Amino acid sequence: MSAHPQAQHPPLDLSKWRKVPNLLIAVGGLVAVIGAAMNLKEFGYSWIVAFMFSFSLVVGALFLVLVHHLFDAGWSVPIRRTCENIASLLPWMAVFFIPIALLAPKLYPWMTSDPAADHALHSKMPLFTKPGFYLSAVVIFGGLSFIALGLRKWSVAQDTTGAAECTHKMRRFAYVGIFLFAFLVTLGVIMWMKALQHQWFSTMYGVYYFAGSVWTTLATVYVMTMALSRMNVLKAVLHKHQFYYLGSLFFAFTVFYAYVTFSQYFIIWNANMPEETFWYQQREQGTWFCVSMVIIFGHFFLPFLALLRIDMKENFKVMTFFAAWAWLMHFTDMTFNVLPVPHPTGFPFQWLWLPLGCTAFIIGCLVKLYLVKYASAAPYPLKDPRLREAMGLPDATPTPISGGDVEDVDDYEDAGHRRPRHVPHRRRPRLGDDPLHQARAARRRPQRRSPQGPRRSHRRRHGNAEQLRLGGPDQRHRPSPRRAGHETHRRRMAEPGSGPRHAARAAGQGFRHAAQSAGETQRLRVTGVTVE
């Protein structure tokens, strides 16, 4: 059986997986309770790992929704509702933050330090205070939840009304939301993960976390989209380019994550300042160095080399493997950032079960909440004006969101559908149609010469240089002035602003203007607009 997304597969039955979220909640909750009873501080750090891993999936989905509206994308319409449902779980992440808020004085050393004796802490006040810590958490969850819920609200409303105003509202949310997103996510990562070692300085830490978050979310959304397609939920509105674009973005963020990570390391290594280098020196001790090598080769080299081939981005088996691999690498990355604080000598394999259990509990809860969101609305935007474009179908009818795409008809694959009859086929200009190209070809073509100069019929049919300069008769076989013996012809060719290159350039501009005018006239004629 082929693994290609467009291959014919039997409907996917996920009924046997219904108990998995409950199992994750039960087992993960039990493990978390046992870990908290054994060592409360160890449980706190493990919970931070699980929380930051889950938080990355939610903010990554919110970013994909924002980018969809910012770029007015068409291909991502069928997968947008999936991302909206994941992003709308942000208010619930505030509930999972409660254990961190309660254990913060034990987990963050700066909360028990004296700012007068700690210059690094004193320079970061009043943000790095207890009121600043809790107030920033309220602002972060409130701002991100407002963006996510607002985008989903107008998206669901458009399923009923189909009004263009819903799209305009979502665009305005995205315009403002992208700046709030960048600021709030960076603030959250600094306050919750980077603040574990408050002496460290890094201006790229927020981008570093963002790159890994979107990378993991893209792989997750790919598998979820494929599962919904195999369940015949999204099959009617999907085109193969959705899977290719998701795979390409996953490949792009593989490179982007590596670039940001290396840049952060190189800048700190090059500056060689103790306030910055100690963070990496601590993570080179013991088995942490091996963990760093796993991240380098597993987070970058393996997916980079495997996804260089185009067909790999559309192979379901390959992308399912890399989705699981992305979760593993991102989880390892979170432990690399958090666990060296309580375990500076090496990776705590004896406590590995605790962060895994905490992660299973949070993910199980998020899956249950996602299923509730999924059941409350259509699985994709039903009346989005770009849905036909996402399906690979041209639409010549202009809308308040966008004009008809008659000029882009040839760029679409038929996706199993015939070309609509009301969309005429327009032949695109070819290289040989350009007068500049024709003029150069005419100079290379041998010309018949006469002692008396150019024949009258030749001049009447092709025109002289003055007519060429003014865009006169047909220029396809313009005679070369070097081979013309007529005195008047040579005199006119010697005038300023004349010559074969000038004439051909002017003719070429006229040709392009005429082609654009013809294309616009054809588009208006198809849409029913009369041009006087």
Helices (DSSP H) in 376-446: which residue ranges? 387-390, 435-444
- Cα gap 366→320, rounded to integer Å: 20
Structure confidence at residue 388 (pLDDT): 85
Rounded mean pLDDT of 8-17?
77
Containing 337, the helix (H) or strand (E) segment is helix 316-338
Rounded mean pLDDT of 213-218?
97
pLDDT tens digits for 97-125? Answer: 999 999 999 999 999 888 888 888 888 88
What CA–CA distances, in Å, run from 196 to 87, 130, 192, 200, 209? 26, 14, 7, 9, 15
Containing 274, the helix (H) or strand (E) segment is helix 274-282
Structure confidence at residue 119 (pLDDT): 86
pLDDT-derived band at 530, boundaries 50, 70, 90? very low
pLDDT-derived band at 398, boundaries 50, 70, 90? low
Structure confidence at residue 420 (pLDDT): 43
Asked if 314 and 268 count as a contact pair (C-beta separation under 8 A), the reply is no
pLDDT tens digits for 158-172? Answer: 999 988 899 999 999
DSSP per residue over 219-270, as a string?
HHHHHHHHHHHHTTSSGGG--HHHHHHHHHHHHHHHHHHHHHHHHHHHHHHH
End-to-end CA distance of the chain: give it in Å, rounded.
Answer: 59
- Cα gap 247→256, rounded to integer Å: 14
Is the pLDDT reported for residue 423 higher than 60?
no
pLDDT-derived band at 146, boundaries 50, 70, 90? very high
Upper half-sphere CA count for residue 67 (Cβ side, 13 Å): 14
Please, what sign has the CA dihedral across residues 82, 310, 312, 231? positive
Rounded mean pLDDT of 58-77?
94
Structure confidence at residue 434 (pLDDT): 53
Torsions phi, psi of 420, nearest 5?
Answer: -60, 145
pLDDT tens digits for 436-482? Answer: 556 666 666 555 555 555 454 444 444 454 444 444 444 444 444 44
Is the pLDDT reported for residue 373 higher than 60?
yes
Q: What whole-number percentage of the chain has pLDDT above 70?
A: 72
Is the pLDDT reported for residue 34 higher than 50?
yes
Which tokens go with 27?
């087992």
pLDDT tens digits for 238-277? Answer: 887 899 999 999 999 999 999 999 999 999 999 988 888 9
- Cα gap 383→507, rounded to integer Å: 46
Structure confidence at residue 116 (pLDDT): 85
Rounded mean pLDDT of 173-190?
95
Is the pLDDT reported for residue 425 higher than 80?
no
Asked if 416 and 452 count as a contact pair (C-beta separation under 8 A), the reply is no
294-308, 417-431, 499-513 — most confident range:
294-308
Where are the domains positioned within the chain? Answer: 17-390, 392-421, 431-526
Which tokens go with 317?
């088996």
pLDDT-derived band at 14, boundaries 50, 70, 90? confident
Structure confidence at residue 386 (pLDDT): 86
State the DSSP code for 194. G
Structure confidence at residue 487 (pLDDT): 53
pLDDT-derived band at 302, boundaries 50, 70, 90? very high
